[in-house]
Every structure is written in structure tokens, then in C-alpha cells.
Amino acid sequence: MKHEHAKTATQNACKLCNPLGACLAFRGIENCVPFLHGSQGCATYIRRYLISHYKEPIDIASSNFHEESAVFGGSHNLKIGLKNVSDQYKPDVIGVATTCLSETIGDDVPMILREYKKEFKNGTPMPILIHASTPSYQGSHIDGFHAAVHASVKALAEKKSRREMINLFPNMVSPADLRYLKEILEDFGVPYMLLPDYSQTMDGGPWGEYHRIPPGGTPASTIVSSGNAKASIEFGSTIETSKSAAEHLDIMFGIPAYHLPLPVGINGSDRFFDLLETLTGKKRAEKYEDERRRLVDAYADGHKYVFEKRVIIYGEEDLVIAMTAFLREIGMVPVLCASGGKSGLMKKRIEELVPDMDELGITVREGVDFVDIEDEAKVLKPDFLIGNSKGYTMSRKNEIPLLRLGFPIHDRFGGQRMHHLGYRGTQELFDRIVNTVIEQRQNASSIGYTYM
Amino acid sequence: MEQIGILEGRQKQIFEKRKGTTQPDIACDTSSLSGSVSQRACVFCGSRVVLYPVADAIHLVHGPIGCAAYTWDIRGAVSSGPELHRLSFSTDLQEMDVIYGGEKKLYKSLIELIEQYKPKAAFIYSTCIVGLIGDDIEAVCKKVARETGIPVLPVHSEGFKGTKKDGYKAACHALMKLIGTGSTEDISKYSINILGEFNLAGEAWIIRQYYEKMGIEVVATLTGDGRIDAVRRAHGATLNVVQCSGSMTWLAKEMEEKYGIPYIRVSYFGIEDMSKSLYDVAVKFPDRPDIMEAAKQIVSEEVKTLYPSLQKFKKALTGKKAAIYVGGAFKTFSLIKALRSIGMSVVLAGSQTGNQDDYTRLKEMCDEGTVIVDDSNPVELSKFILEKGADLLIGGVKERPIAFKLGIGFCDHNHERKIPLAGFIGMYNFALEVYQSVMSPVWQFAPRKGGSL
């Protein structure tokens, strides 16, 4: 549907900026401080935004540009900032991400980092400095996420001797998902590198004393050894080759890269487990067969509630694509698959998973905001919406229920503990979807059935 | 436990009150140290928070998407009518715009948004990048204002051009352009503007009601539940009553100079300061003793119901220790008094943007052993919370997880709060929230209270 007004400005954006994703990814490296090269506000806003979802302290340093830095370059500020972060946080790694400001004035960050290493070398061990280019005027938060992962591998991975090890690049998923992925890999008994791994740093326990950097995360040494792995698995459907960490390892060290959509749904999860079986030569543990059986059983128990229910799904492109395939396997119709991202690949990737998408009336829109989605919703009148918290405004206004998933969840409790991936995640999603339908039906009924 | 050090460049911004020591001035009003993980934001943030509650204007952020996305519906500033302030508009600048300039996109966006939403005015916020690519925002705003007939006000809030305080000033500058353009006919001689009250959780309504009960006309609230037409006639008021002095004192001074309107500084937090803010206004109208009488009446009625209800909290909280880290220092004065009235002492007091006068006063107010900090960071805050054995932290979203990780209570006194903490009822809510958090049994499991790690 065409917007009833001409529309140049973005209204209620369905995306965030590039540096946010980089900060989150850097949080998934052990003893790493994310560092934004730009104005103080970028770091503070991003901290606030992440804290509201994860409910964890998130220290992001900033080079804190002034007018002079904007005129003469941010080199001086960046170096002082790195020194201060090193002194105060004693990190193993500092993940430097740029902002629109430092990118526009054209700071040569790799050169500044090289200078810094020379100037401040004084016998004490220097943290590893990783640089990701994340100008906010390009792409969205998910690009920053991949940029940081890519930069980390590029900076650290080395090849020594090939090992029985698997690299897994999980994409921007919840801490609960990361924990589940680790459990799966551990059950397969295969050494692995999961990058990033913020399962603990963004969802950890209480502290008895102050931690400058919370425990957890992928150790830098493990990233170094990712160059020895026998294979890389990367979840995601729209990652450009040049920005893919798995592709980088393939090109540099000949490590085969396997790209899978995020493993949501039975088919999606099967693909992931099958691949792990192939790569490890081992069968999956019985408990995953059990999880799958329970899920198949739940599909049977709940199928009538969800069949041909029409929904709008929005969020990061990769999540929307994987969710669309899952919704189709339970008989639902995602009448609109929308994202603020703009890879140009979303429709193609959905079509690969759902070949009859056009017949079903599934529409795909990239580069949209929440006003666009709302305009569509008014016409499509879906049964409910599926996506992050930011759809609440249109949900409330148009009285369409919202099932929350992904990031950010700012208006419900426990977003960081929500599962989305594998049989377990799919089970949780399926239960929640069915309950959304049941609740809607129960509320709409004048009788007040106690059995639904 | 590991000793936490203070960064060399930060030591002058920290002070511990001790008997017999000389009292050096705290260094403040400086920009944040690079790499110190300041809790401050930027110039843009300062402007955005001040103007945000103006509900019948559109707020267009000129820049890449982040600045608009992170400030979408961010404040608990409520409106009794239009809610344009709760929408997020951005020119969402892309690489090509950065190369070729964003003026055309800005112009088109403005024309379309004004056509679609029919606002009373538009605020255009410059972000970092606009300061670099050199878009002539003034010219675009003038053109659009001419074509649409509404005020289109540029806000020069490039993030790197100063601190949050400069953002306050840029916002006030935009407001000054509106003030004086409306009719002041029919405005009573017994009238005020409420400055620096943002109607979080409806606080401005509570305050306004007190003044109106006293027989005083409130011309404009800047900017809580704000309306462009009210701002335009604000120069017709007899007195400016300024809360959140950090953001609005500049505007009050400008109005004093230009329109001869005197101003007073007040605070609506805690019984003492809330009462004083009514009396201080009443004093300014000596020819109407009934106003003072009414103020006394309000205070006595409110305190009569409030005081007994606070005793339960006081009994439970007596002897507990609080740490305060908020945006403006002026608020800390009230909080110290409010906490004392429920039996609590303050072991750490700090702010993002306090000035020299604020800190001098804070030093006078505080007990011995209290640490005073300017522009602090998570490491320092945690250090002092632990060293001083605080039971409560008062702050905003960014401070909350620090408190909870360390296993102490927390009270949200920032602009996202959903419960009114101003006014007499606000004091009750404040005490209740502090009580509910500090006295919760969940802390028994916190490692610092003997729980396991």
C-alpha cells in the first residue's frame, strides 16, 4: 500500500544505528570494553537502550569528541580514551567502533591504533585493539553487529594446525539462545568457538564486588584459534560475503563456510542438527530427539488454533526470514514480512524457503518504518503482530495484539531469557503463539469459557 | 577485594567531606574525560530532553537514524491533549546525503510532515554530522516557515559542540524565539510561568494545581504538557518559577533581561522544598495576603495527611544509607532533605552537570564522610557505593543495573519514571518506592548480604 502522504522522513524507525550492534557484539568477547569513537551521546544512548532490554550494567567508553577533535581529527581523544580505558578497566580487548562523526571527518582509525601501540608501549601488556567501521549513515544495527564479529575474526584468527573444531557465528540472538547453542555444541562433544557470546555478560548473576567487566564471553585466544577450525557455521540469510566472518575464514584459511538461516522451526532446526551430525560424524543426543518429538506433538495439539492465522512479522531481516519459514510450517500466513533493514535480499531469501509465497499473498517490504507497517496493518487487518516492543504503539492504536520477540523488549520482563532457536526455542515460540490466539478468543467470547 | 582507583584526570571532580580539611573547589563545568564512561549524554540530548514535552509541535531530528531512534517516546512526559512529541521523526541521512548535503531531504521531510500532522510548530535538531557537512538549517527553516506559516525552529544541538548543558541552552534559545510572539491580553497580574518542569508522570499538573488553588494564574509550563501558544505568551507572566535549574536558568535570565520578569529557583521534591516553593511564590505577591494564606492552607492540609503516612517508612528506613547520582545538582539538595525526613543519610551525592555554586552548597549540606562527585562513571559509583555501604542508589536507567548487581535498592528519579515524585503526593510515592526497594527480602540472596555467588 502506498502511504497516503508523501514520505521522505523516517517516522518511528524500525531499525537502530550501526554502532549499537557493534557494541553488543564486542560485549560478547571476554574481558572486552566496547569503545565508540565519536560524541559522548552515542555511547550513553546505546547503553541506555541496551540496559532497558538486558537489565545489565553495560559500560561503553567514548572518545568524547569536542569541536577541536571534529576540526583537527579525533586522534588525540581516541588515544587518551584508550589509555584511560586500559587504566581503569584493564581489558584484554578494546573493541573500537566508529560513528557517523569520526567516519565523516575521515579519521584513519587503523593508523591511529598503530600509532597508539607504538606511543604507549611501555613494557606492560597492551590490550588487543579491534576496529570495526560502523558509520551510522549506512545500514542498521545488524550491520554493526556483523562488522564487529568480522573485524574480530579478521584481527585475531590465525592458522596453525587444523583441529576438530567448529566455529559458530550465531547472529544477534538472545543470551538464552546462546546458552542453548553452547549446550548443543557441548553435547556433540565438539570443541567450538561461538562468536559473539554475551550469554553471561548480558545476562549474568549478582556481584559480590564490583566487576569492571563482567565475566563471560568468547576468549580472544579462542578467536585466534578459529583459524584452525574444520568448518564455520553462520546463521543469517542476508549477510554480504564481504561482511561475513565465515567467508573471511574460508578465503583466508580455506575453512568451509556453511550458511544457514536462523534455525527456527522444525525444518530450520533439522537443518542445523543435520549439519552438526555431518560435521562431527556423531548423532545428536537423545534429549534433542525428545525435544523434537515434543515439538511435533505440540504442533498436533495446537494446529487448529493457528491455522491460516494472518500476522505481520517485523524486525531484523534475518529474523523475519527465519520466522516466516517457521510460521508457514505451522500453517500461519505472514501477510507482511517487514524490516527497517535494506539488504535487497529479503524477498529472494523468503522465496527460497516459501516457494508459494506469492500465491499465499505474502508481501515483503524492506526499508520500512513503523508508520509504513501501520498503514499496511490498517488494510491487511492481521490477527496479530509479531516483533519487538517498538510495535506496541501501532498495536495499541489499532487494537491488534502484539507477540513480542527479538530485540528490543522494553515493555516486558525477561526479553534476554527468551528462546527463539532450535527445537527448544521453537517450542517456546509455538506455545506463546498458540496462547496469544487462545487469549484473544477467550477475551472476545461473551461466555467466558474456562476450557479453551 | 581489589582496590578501585580513580583516573588521574578525574580526581579534581571528587571530594570527600572531612573535618578540619581545607575545602578545595570541585572541578566541574568541564567536558567529560575521554574513555571515562561518563554517565552524561551529549548536546543533542540536552536539547531533546528540554523540548521533548512540547506536545503540539513536531520534533524532527536531522541526521542518521540513531539519534531519533534512541529518543523515541523516551520520557515519561505526558500530555493532556496532542501527542506529537511521542512520535520519532528523522531525516535518516544516508551516505549520499552526507556527501551531497541533506538540505533537500530536510526541506521535503518538513513540508510533508507539517502537511500530514498539522503541528503548531516544528523543532529541527542538528546532530553531529550536520555540523560537519554544513547544511544551512537556518535557511531551510526560514523557507519552510514562510511557506507553511508556522514557526520552524532550528535547534543547534550538534552532539560534539559542548556538553549537555549547551544543549539546554540551544533549546532555550529556540524557546526564546517563540516567547513574545503571542498576545498577553487577559493575563492576570498574579501570574507565573513554571520553568523546568517536564510533566513526568503528570507532575506539572500536580504543581499547577497547587498554584491555581492559591489564586495564581499559570501562563505556561516550560515545557511539561507544553503548547506552542502558551509558550508564545509566556512573557506576560509576572514571575518565573524555575525548577531543574540546570536546564532553564538561562531562559529565566534571558526573560528577565528582555521582559523584566524576575525569577526564583524552587524544587518540588520533599515536604520542605515543596512547601517552600509555594511560600516563595506567595511572597512575591505581597498585596494579596490571601495568596499566602492559601499557600499555608495547602501545606497544612497536605502535611496533615502526608506526615502520618510517612512514619511507617521512616521507622523501617531509619539508619539506612543512600547514594544519589542524578542529572542536575539542584535536585540532590531536595533529595538529601527528603531522605533525611524518612530517617536516611546520604553517603554519596553527585550529578552530571552541577556547577560550582551547586557543589559549594552541597558541601555545606552534606554530613561528614559524604563523597561528592561531578560527572562520575560506573566504576567510581560502584567503588563509593561499596566503600560507604549504601543501601540505596537514586539515579536513572544507566545507574539502575549497578545498584541491582551490587544487591542494593534503587529509586528511579530520572525522566523515564512513570510515578510522580514531585509535590506532596510525590513525597509519599518517593518514600514508598524507596521503602519497597530497600526493604525487599530479595537482597538476602545478594552476595554482599551473605548470599552465595
CB contact under 8 A, A137 and B94: yes
Q: How many helices (H) and strands (E) does chain A have?
A: 18, 14
- Decide: B148 and B60 in contact? Cβ < 8 Å: no
Question: What is the rounded average pLDDT of the residues B155-173?
Answer: 93
The rounded distance, in Å, linking the Cα atoms of B49 and B250 is 15
In the predicted model, what is the mean pLDDT of residues B243-271? 93
CA distance B252 to A265: 60
Place of cell 546525503: B97
Contact residues for A374 (Cβ-Cβ < 8 A; gap 6+): A394, A397, A398
For testing contact with chain B, the best of A14, A45, A72, A142 (most B CBs within 10 A) = A45
C-alpha Rg value of chain A to the nearest Å:
22
pLDDT score for B21? 63
Of A20, A52, A56, the CB nearest to B397: A52
Contact by Cβ (8 Å): A387, A315: yes
- Among B46, B33, B59, smallest CA distance to B376 is for B33
| Inter-chain Cβ pairs, chain A and chain B, closer than 8 A | 241
Max CA pair span of chain B: 68
d(CA B10, CA B1): 22
- The DSSP letter of residue A18 is H
Length of chain A measured in residues: 452
Tell if the CB–CB gap between A5 and B407 is shorter than 8 Å: no
Give kind and range of the element (H or E) at residue A246.
helix A245-253
Residue B66: name the closest of A243, A331, A106, A16 by CA: A16
Strand order in the sheet with B263-265: B217-223, B191-197, B239-242, B263-265
Compute the distance between CA of residue B374 and CA of residue B355 in angstroms, rounded to an integer: 9
Does residue B425 register a pLDDT over 80? yes
Instruction: Say how many residues make up chain B.
Output: 453
Euclidean distance between CA atoms B94 and B105, whole angstroms: 10
Please state the φ and ψ torsions of residue A194, each to the nearest 5 degrees: -105, 120
> DSSP class of residue A218?
B
- Asked if A319 and A271 touch (Cβ cutoff 8 Å), the reply is no
What amino acid is encoded at A256 in this protein? P
- Look at strands B14-16 and B371-374 and give their pairing: antiparallel
Round to whole Å and give the CA distance between A305 and A332. Answer: 10
The cell for A31 is 574481558
A73 touches B: beta carbon within 8 Å: no
Q: Which residues partner with B395 through β-bridges?
A: B412
For residue A412, how many other CB atoms are within 10 A of its CB? 12
Q: In A249-338, which ranges are E strands?
A: 257-260, 310-314, 333-338
Instruction: Decide: A268 and A261 in contact? Cβ < 8 Å.
Output: yes
- State how far residue A182 is from chain B, nearest Cα, in angstroms: 22
Q: Which of B60, B67, B160, B399 to mutate to test the interface with A (most CBs of A within 10 A)?
A: B160
User: Which chain B residues are closer than 8 Å to A7 by Cβ?
Assistant: 112
What confidence category does residue B182 fall into, taking pLDDT thresholds of 50, 70 and 90?
very high
Which of A44, A82, A372 should one mutate to test binding to chain B, selecting the residue with the greatest count of B CBs within 10 A? A44
Residues in chain A within 8 Å Cβ distance of B72: 12-13, 390
Most distant CA pair in chain A, distance: 77
List all residues of chain B from 125 to 154 with a beta carbon under 8 Å from chain A. Answer: 127-129, 131-133
- Which grid coordinates belong to A276? 552438526
Cell triple for B154: 532550528
Report the CATH architecture of B43-176. Answer: 3-Layer(aba) Sandwich (3.40)
Nearest by Cα to A322 from A274, A260, A365, A382: A260
| Chain center to CA of A447 | 43
CB atoms within 10 A of CB A162: 13
Pick from B36, B90, B116: which is nearest to A10 by CB?
B90
Mean of the pLDDT values across residues B168-185? 96
What does the buried/exposed string (b/e) look like for A280-311 if buried means 16 or more CB atoms within 10 Å of the residue's CB? Answer: beeebbeebeebbeebeebbeebeebbeebbb
How far apart (Å, rounded) are the C-alpha atoms in residues A220 and A133?
20
ipTM for the predicted complex: 0.95
CATH topology of domain A286-444: Rossmann fold (3.40.50)
Integer Cα distance of A156 and A144 in angstroms: 18
A7 interfaces chain B, CB cutoff of 8 Å? yes
> How far apart (Å, rounded) are the C-alpha atoms in residues A219 and A93?
9
Question: Can you spell out the DSSP letters for B405-426?
Answer: HHT-EEEE-STT--S--SHHHH
Distance CA B232, CA B187 (A): 13
Which of B65, B96, B108, B110 is the mutation pick for testing A, counting most A CBs within 10 A? B65
Chain B: residue nearest A45 by CA?
A: B70
Using a CB–CB cutoff of 8 Å, tell me whether B404 touches chain A. yes
B28-82 confidence digits (pLDDT tens) = 777 777 887 877 889 999 999 999 999 999 999 999 999 999 999 988 899 999 9
Residues 6+ apart with CB under 8 A from A72: none
Q: The C-alpha cell of A222 is what?
A: 579462542
CB contact under 8 A, A137 and B40: no
β partners of residue B89: A11, B60
CB < 8 Å from A in window 178-217 of B: none
**CB nearest B112 (choices: A9, A52, A87):** A9
Q: CATH assignment of A12-156?
A: 3.40.50.1980
Spatial distance between the Cα atoms of A35 and A49, rounded to a whole number of angstroms: 16
Q: What is the pLDDT of residue A42?
A: 95
> Measured between CA atoms, how close is A303 to chain B, in angstroms?
38
How far is A436 from A386, CA to CA, in rounded Å? 11
Instruction: Identify the residue with better confidence: B1 or B194.
Output: B194
* Class for the domain spanning B191-298: alpha beta
Contact flag B64-A62 (C-beta cutoff 8 Å):
no
Q: What is the DSSP letter of B367?
A: P
Question: What single letter denotes the amino acid at residue B361?
Answer: R
Residue type, A425: G
Alpha helices in B188-328 (DSSP H): 203-213, 228-232, 245-259, 271-283, 289-317
Is the pTM here over 0.80, yes or no? yes
Tell which phi-psi region holds residue B49, choosing left (phi > 0), alpha (psi between -120 and 50) or beta.
Answer: alpha
- Give domain limits for chain A: 12-156, 286-444
* Residue of B128, B140, B444, B448 to mutate when probing chain A, most A C-beta within 10 A: B128
Domain boundaries, chain B: 43-176, 191-298, 318-417
What is residue B1's predicted lDDT score, i.e. its pLDDT? Answer: 45
Cβ atoms within 10 Å, residue B318? 11
Section B99-107 average pLDDT:
96
Interchain contact, A64 vs B38, CB within 8 Å? yes
The phi, psi pair for A130, rounded to 5°, reads: -115, 135
Distance, CA of B174 to CA of B196 (rounded, Å): 15
What element of type H or E holds A118? helix A109-119
Rounded to the nearest 10 degrees, how much is the dihedral formed by the CA atoms of A89, A90, A94, A100? 30
CB contact at 8 A, B53 and B85: yes
Put simply, the answer to whether B159 touches A5 (Cβ < 8 Å) is no
Report the candidate in A36, A388, A121, A94 with the shortest Cα–Cα distance to residue A213: A94
DSSP code at position B160: T
Q: Hey, are the CB atoms on A100 and B448 less than 8 Å from each other?
A: no
- pLDDT by position in tens, chain A (length 452): 455 678 999 999 999 999 999 999 999 999 999 999 999 999 999 999 999 999 999 999 999 988 888 888 899 999 999 999 999 899 999 999 999 999 999 999 999 999 999 998 876 789 999 999 999 999 999 999 999 999 999 999 998 888 889 999 999 999 999 999 999 999 999 999 999 999 999 999 999 888 889 999 999 999 999 999 999 999 999 999 999 999 999 999 999 999 999 999 999 999 999 999 999 999 999 999 999 999 999 999 999 999 999 999 999 999 999 999 999 999 999 999 999 999 999 999 999 999 999 999 999 999 999 999 999 999 999 999 999 999 999 999 999 999 999 999 999 999 999 999 999 999 999 999 999 999 999 999 999 888 88
Would an 8 Å CB–CB cutoff place B448 in contact with chain A?
Answer: yes
Chain B residue numbers with beta carbons less than 8 Å from the beta carbon of A135 are 64, 95
DSSP string, A293-313: HHHHHHHHHHHHHHTT-EEEE
How far is A158 from B443, CA to CA, in rounded Å?
A: 46
Q: What is the pLDDT, as a whole number, of residue A1?
A: 47
State the pairing for strand pair A384-387/B14-16.
Answer: unpaired
C-alpha–C-alpha distance, residues B413 and A29, integer Å: 33
Q: What pLDDT is recorded for position A439?
A: 94
Domain spanning B318-417: which superfamily?
Answer: Nitrogenase molybdenum iron protein domain (3.40.50.1980)
Question: What cell was used for A268?
Answer: 530450520
Mean pLDDT on B198-227 = 97
Q: Give the Cα separation of B224 and B198 in Å (integer).
A: 4
Short-list B174, B211, B147, CA closest to B59: B174
Query: What is d(CA B369, CA B366) in angstroms, rounded to the nearest whole number?
Result: 8
User: Nine-digit cell at A187?
Assistant: 553435547
A393–B contact, CB cutoff 8 A: yes
Contact present, A375 and A394 (Cβ < 8 Å)? no
How high is the pLDDT of residue A166?
98
pLDDT surpasses 90 at B366: no
* Residue showing cell 578465503: A251
